[in-house]
Amino acid sequence: MNNSRHHAQERDIQERDTQERGAVLLTTLLLMSVMAVITLAIMDDIRFSIIRTGNVQAVEQLDWHYRGGELFAQDWLDGMTVDNQKQFDQLMISDQPVTLPFEEGEMLIKAHDGRNCFNVNQLARQKSPARVRGNFARLLTLLEFDPFQAESIAAAVQDWVDADNIPVQGGAEGLVYGNRKPAHSAANTLMIDISELRAVEGIDEEAYQRLKPFVCARRNTRFNRINLNTLRVEEAPLLALVLRGDESLSRAQKIIADRPQGGFGSVDEVWERKEIRELDLKGAGKNRVNVETDLVELDISLRYGEQVRTGRVVYRLKNGEGAQLVSRRPLD
């Protein structure tokens, strides 16, 4: 009897020991699992921190290289002389970028004459607003907008940039924009960027893309004097707007196509051409054109590793004063 009780007690002790060892094993495994999860989380944080640090360093390097590109371009423009002005004109006409490779990346700089565009902010001029609006509408017809659409867009843009809340005929002021969803109002101030045109009544994406190469938003209400030595054939509507008269577009295209390799020496030289003499302009329009560059737009595209940055920098060129920064903004 005593032996049986003794054996039973031993079995109970062995079972308890087994259960306790199992519990300890499960607890140990659970702790190891928790530690493994914590370790993985810590490693992920470390990896993320390393990646983030690397990205921050890459962005900082990108910033330095981009700023270096701006300074290089400014020095380049500062060194402009009569001789390399002609070379620079050819670069702007070609519309081809200058490629500057460097370790782990490259920079592309494309130059464009900042005067070869219609300044939409001149529509805010209080003097002769109807005449300025008519000029813009005519440019639109030269770009193959139908006359009614051209008049409507010109009026809507004028209402957008002028200071009053009174719509011109065919235009759009606060009431029109207040009925949109979401509602907003006309800016009634100068445009900062030409992309604002997308908010103007009557200008959809298709119309905006047709307009975009021919218009700009300068920080004043003056008209641009287009540069006859940097106009490309596809920009002929800008010159045709100055010439007026019959077949002005074809005449403008011919003048640009026949331009001497070294460019025109003066505006008078151009106005002596047969295509213009036949229009009997009597000198009209000469104050709207030029043969020199005084405003340059530079589109800078920078790639550093996998990082890319693009932007547009505008410089004003003044004799004896070098290149002066006018504006800079990112590009999409």
Domain ranges of the chain: 1-114+293-332, 118-289
> Whole-angstrom Cα distance, residue 230 to residue 242?
16
> Whole-angstrom Cα distance, residue 201 to residue 160?
9
Stretch 96-103: mean pLDDT, rounded?
A: 85
236 contacts 253 by C-beta, under 8 angstroms: yes
> Whole-angstrom Cα distance, residue 237 to residue 165?
31
DSSP class per residue in 89-146:
HHHHHHTPPEEEEETTEEEEEEEEETTSSEEGGGGG-SSSHHHHHHHHHHHHHHTT--
- How far, in Å, are 84, 111, 124, 215, 273 from residue 209 at the CA level? 33, 20, 23, 11, 33
> Computed from CA positions of residues 220, 225, 226, 227, in that sequence, does the dihedral angle turn out positive or negative?
negative
Q: What is the pLDDT of residues 162-204, one digit of tens each?
A: 988 888 888 888 777 877 778 778 888 999 999 999 999 999 9
* Helix (H) / strand (E) containing 315: strand 307-318
Residue 275 pLDDT class (50, 70, 90 cuts): confident
Q: Which residue has the higher pLDDT, 319 or 36?
A: 319
Q: What pLDDT shows up at residue 119?
A: 96
Stretch 258-276: mean pLDDT, rounded?
A: 90
Q: Which two tokens stand for residue 180?
A: 């949109």
Q: Which two tokens stand for residue 77?
A: 């423009």
Q: What are the counts of helices (DSSP H) followed by strands (DSSP E) for the chain?
A: 10, 9
SS3 of 5-28: the string is: HHHHHHHHHHHHHHHHHHHHHHHH
* Helix (H) / strand (E) containing 313: strand 307-318
Q: Which residue has the higher pLDDT, 4 or 208?
A: 208
DSSP class per residue in 242-263:
HH-STTHHHHHHHHHHT--TT-
Least confident of 23-27, 251-255, 325-329: 23-27
Q: What percent of the chain has a predicted confidence (pLDDT) above 90?
A: 39
Q: What pLDDT shows up at residue 66?
A: 82
Q: What is the pLDDT of residues 64-98, one digit of tens each?
A: 878 887 888 888 888 765 557 777 888 888 888 88
Whose tokens are 């905006």? That residue is: 208
Flag whether pLDDT at 51 surpasses 50: no
Least confident of 15-19, 32-36, 153-157: 15-19
- What angle separates helix 236-243 from helix 248-257, to the nearest 10 degrees? 120
- What angle separates helix 147-161 from helix 129-142, to the nearest 10 degrees? 140
* Helix (H) / strand (E) containing 216: strand 215-216
pTM for this model (two decimals): 0.79
Whose tokens are 């209402």? That residue is: 159
CATH of domain 1-114+293-332: 3.30.1300.30
In single-letter form, the type of residue at position 164 comes to: D
111: closest CA among 137, 73, 155? 73
- Give the CATH class of 118-289: mainly alpha
